[in-house]
Amino acid sequence: MPTAAPDLIGLAVQTLGTLLFFVLFLLVWRQSGIISLGSWTLAWLLEALALVFVWFYFSSGQVAWLAPYSFLEYSYALALAAAARMENLGTSKNWNKGLRALAGYPVFLAIVYALGLHHRFETFHALHSLVLAGLYLYGASRLHGGIGSGARWFRYALTALSAASLWHAAIFYSVYRQDGALIWPAYLRYYNLYDLALQTMLAFSAMAMWIENQRYRILSLDAELDRVRSETQKGLDQDRLTGLRNQAALEKSLESGEGFSGVVAVCDMDNFKSINDRFGHLVGDEILRNVGHLLRASIRQEDEAFRWGGDEFVILFHNQNRAVATSRMRALRDRLGGFQVRGYGMMPISFSWGTAELQGGSLRKALDDADRQMYANKRQQAQPEPQPPA
C-alpha cells in the first residue's frame, strides 16, 4: 500500500487535462491528416492511459498496476520525442526508431526487479522518474536544429520536464528513505499539477511548432508557385521554333513605359520566301531555328533577341553604342555567309538590318526608326549595280 494519501485532486486534473490534449490533437490530426499530429495524438492517449493505471494502483494498492503505468509513460516519452522530430524534420522515420527504443523497456523492468524496487510506489516511481528524465533530455537534445519559437519553447518544456522528473526521483527516494514515517511534503501533494503545467506548455509549444512548420511549407509553396509562374510566363513569351523571345514579349517591353538606353537593331532575311518555295518549309524552319541559336549565342546575357514575325528579328543591345552594335551585326552577317543546311550543303544566308540608338527615350519610336532604316538598306541592296559604259 502507498505510504501516504495520494493527490487524487491533482491526478484528476492532470488526467482531464491530458484527455483534453488528446481530443484537441485528434481533431486537428483528423482534419489535416499530418503524420506528426497523429504521433502527438498517440502520445497524449498513452499519457491518459498511464494516469488511469495510477488510479487503479491507488484504488487497489496492488503494485502490479505500476508495470503497465510505467510502460505507458515510457512509450509516451518516446512518442513525444518521435513527434517532435517528425515536426522538425518533416519525416516519419522516427516511428521505426521509437519502436526499436521500446525494446529498452524490459531492461528497465529487469533493473527494477533486480534491485527489489517493485514492492513500493516510492522506489518504483523514483527509478521511473530517472528514466523519464533521460528520455525528456534526449528528446530536447535531438531538437537542437529546430527553428522558430515553437521549437525553442518545446525544447524548454522538455528540459523542464527532465528537471522535474529528476526532482520527483529525489523526492520519492527521500520518502522511501524515511520508510514512510514522514508524511509526504506539500510539494508531493501537487506534483501532478506541476506536471500538468509543464505538459500544457509542451502541448502549446507543439501546436506553435506545427503552425510554424505549416507557415514554412506555405512559404515554400509560394516560392515554388512563383517559380512555376515564372517558367510558365517564360514559356508564353518564348518562340518555340527559334528559342528567342516572341512578338508578345516584345510588345510587353514596348508597352512597359520603362526607359531604354542602348541600340535597337531590326534585321530581316533576304529572299527567304524563295528559299521556302524552292526547298520547302522544313528547310526554312531549320534555317530559322539555327538563326535563332546563332542570335542567342552572339549577344550578351543582358541583351535581348526577339523573333518579331516570319523571318524578321529584333535585338536590344542594352547600354551599348551604335558602332559596337553595328560591328556585332556585321559579325552575324559574316557567320550566316557560311551557313550550311543538312542534306543541302552550303547555303549562304544574307540579311538586311537597321539600327537606332536611344538614351532613355521611347523604345517604340526607336524600333520604328530601325525598321525604316532596315527597309531602306534592303531596297538599296536590291537595286542593280550600275553597269560600266560600253
Q: Which residue has the higher pLDDT, 92 or 85?
A: 85
Q: What percent of the chain has pLDDT over 90?
A: 8
Asked which of 83-87, 300-304, 376-380 is least confident by mean pLDDT, the reply is: 83-87
Query: Has residue 187 got a pLDDT over 60?
Result: no
Mean pLDDT of 247-259: 83
For 94-103, how does the pLDDT look when each residue is reduced to its tens digit (9 = 90+)? 455 555 655 5
pLDDT digits (tens, 9 = 90+) for 303-312: 999 998 888 9
pLDDT, tens digit, 9 for 90 and up, residues 325-364: 889 888 888 888 777 777 777 777 888 899 999 887 788 8
Region 147-163 average pLDDT: 80
Q: Quick one: which of 79, 336, 386 has its CA closest to 206?
A: 79
Question: Stretch 21-25: mean pLDDT, rounded?
Answer: 86
Q: Average pLDDT, stretch 167-195? A: 67
Burial class (CB in 10 A: 0-12, 13-18, 19+), 69: buried
Question: pLDDT class for 43, splitting at 50, 70, 90?
Answer: confident
In the chain, where the domains are located: 8-228, 247-381
Q: Taking a C-beta distance cutoff of 8 angstroms, is the pair 217, 147 a contact? A: no
pLDDT at position 7: 65
Beta partners for residue 265, in sequence order: 315, 355
Classify domain 247-381 at the CATH class level: alpha beta
pLDDT at 90: 46
CA pair distance 100, 115, nearest whole angstrom: 25
Across the strands, what pairs with 151? none
pLDDT of residue 368: 92
Model pLDDT, residue 370: 92
Report the chain's mean pLDDT, rounded to a whole number.
78
pLDDT of 106 = 62
Cell of 347: 547555303
Predicted pLDDT at 190: 65
Round to whole Å and give the CA distance between 111 and 88.
34
C-alpha distances out from residue 317 to 12, 288, 295, 327, Å: 79, 21, 12, 12
Bridge partners for 356 per DSSP: 264
* Candidate ranges 5-14, 20-29, 88-97, 200-209; pick with highest mean pLDDT: 20-29
Q: Indicate if the pLDDT at residue 390 is higher than 50.
A: no
pLDDT score for 91: 46
Query: Does the pLDDT value for residue 2 go beyond 50?
Result: no
Taking 90 as the threshold, does the pLDDT of residue 55 lie above it? no
CA-to-CA separations, 255 to 258, 362, 363, 369, in angstroms, rounded:
8, 10, 9, 17
The pLDDT of residue 104: 60
Res. 4: pLDDT tops 50 = no
